[in-house]
A and B are shown apart, each in its own frame.
Chain A
Amino acid sequence: MIPAPFEYVAADSAADAVDLLAKHGDDAKLLAGGHSLLPMMKLRLAAPAVLIDIARARDLSGISVDGGELVIGATTRHADVASSELVRTEAPLLAHAASLVGDPQIRHRGTIGGSLAHADPAADLPMALVALGGSVELTGPAGSRRVVADDFFTGFFETALADGELISAVRVPRRPGMAWGYQKFVRRANDWAIVGAAAIDGRIASPAEAAELAADGTSPGEDIHADRQFRQHLARVLTRRALEHLS
């Protein structure tokens, strides 16, 4: 399968990417690892006229500490998040979630910002960021703003990103030694989650109560893999397991 033709431009920096986005407008899509976008383009579900490659913008990648938060550049790859000693120590749930994305080849290309911007509800990183109380830094023509994960994800594949904006970084609170749990139900290796559950300590309910809340408080979609009732059942079981196996 071959994508529809497009023009390719590479951005040197976040500022350059913002300028290129302003110049090309709705016709353009950002390309980081390309592991969500290129498959869609091959299936002609997306056909942008211009691809702006941000993988070469050095100021968009890397992992650092800023006060009480970890700052992870948007184009930092899943493999680098998963293997980072800093992330493993300060936000172990995030390192674990990154280590479960796709397979090794996918983790060598896919990026944290790309996964969050794609906002697939079955993906690992959006769930992990919400559980951790993290936020994203969005950069556009008017400068940067921060949006907490809860507000960033507005729907199925929908986010609070405005026209002309890009995710420049991801921020998560530093919490070394925190207890966390992570459960994911898949049909096959390397598959999207049918249901996932991420938990951190911070007691607001017993595991049994939280499991009921997870099952009753969500309205999962239905598809060929699982109906709504089965997904709610999984939400109940996986939430209880995530809480019972905090590590």
Chain B
Amino acid sequence: MMQVKLTVNGEQRSDDVEPRLLLVHYLREVCGLRAANIGCDTTSCGACTVLLNGESVKSCTVLTAQAAGQEVVTAEGLAPDGQLHPVQQAFRDEHGLQCGFCTPGMVMAAVSLLRENPSPTEDQVREGLEGNLCRCTGYHNIIRAVLAAAAQSAGSQAEVTT
């Protein structure tokens, strides 16, 4: 066992873990945060996507030990007081989900994408989400939701500056 200290959704944590404990298992089983799903378990499907220091990563392919000293955010951390994050709100408004299994990963990947590129084109959204699979094949509304979230945040910035 080894001790790891890290921040999860803004909370400082210190836990004794096995070195081989994957971040997704740590989040689900030690922290009790079940938003990140285990889908393919082979770095392909993106259902386990979380933010590590603000950037999307697949938590089935990160050791908890590698995240020591760093900041992890899961979908639970996007809406700590129940107020939906703009990307979550856009997924809801645009019906960007069907069964919902891929949704937490899609949302986290979209949050990371919009941080790197706040005004993406449709093609850039499609390519930016290539690491996330939706087996309901509900991609059209997912793309629409990400574009809506980008437009909304561009709109709110315009309001601030005018």
Contact with B along A1-26 (1 / 0, CB 8 A): 11111111000000000000000000
Please tell me if B33 contacts chain A, counting CB pairs below 8 Å: no
Q: Is A102 a contact partner of B131 (Cβ separation < 8 A)?
A: yes
Among A2, A3, A8, A189, the one with the most B-chain Cβ atoms within 10 Å of its Cβ is: A8
Q: In the assembly, what is the distance between CA of A2 and CA of B38, in Å?
A: 12
- By a CB distance below 8 angstroms, the chain B residues around A102 are 43, 131
Residue of B nearest to A77 (CB): B55
The answer to whether A1 and B41 touch (CB under 8 A), given A8-B63, A106-B58, A108-B52, is: yes
Please tell me if B130 contacts chain A, counting CB pairs below 8 Å: yes
Q: Is B131 a contact partner of A2 (Cβ separation < 8 A)?
A: no
Interface of chain A, main secondary structure: loop
Interface size (B, Cβ < 8 Å)? 29
Q: In the assembly, what is the distance between CA of A189 and CA of B129, in Å?
A: 10
Shortest CB-to-CB span from A3 to chain B, Å, is: 5
The answer to whether A5 and B19 touch (CB under 8 A), given A34-B61, A105-B46, is: yes
Q: Is A104 a contact partner of B109 (Cβ separation < 8 A)?
A: yes
Q: Is A108 a contact partner of B62 (Cβ separation < 8 A)?
A: no
Please tell me if A55 contacts chain B, counting CB pairs below 8 Å: yes
- By a CB distance below 8 angstroms, the chain B residues around A109 are 57-58, 61-62
Q: Is B22 a contact partner of A108 (Cβ separation < 8 A)?
A: no
Q: Residues on A close to B: CB < 8 A?
A: 1-8, 31, 34-35, 38-39, 42, 51, 53, 55, 79, 102-106, 108-109, 189-190
13 contacts between A and B (CB under 8 A): A5-B18, A5-B20, A6-B20, A31-B63, A34-B61, A38-B62, A53-B65, A102-B131, A104-B56, A105-B49, A105-B109, A189-B130, A190-B131
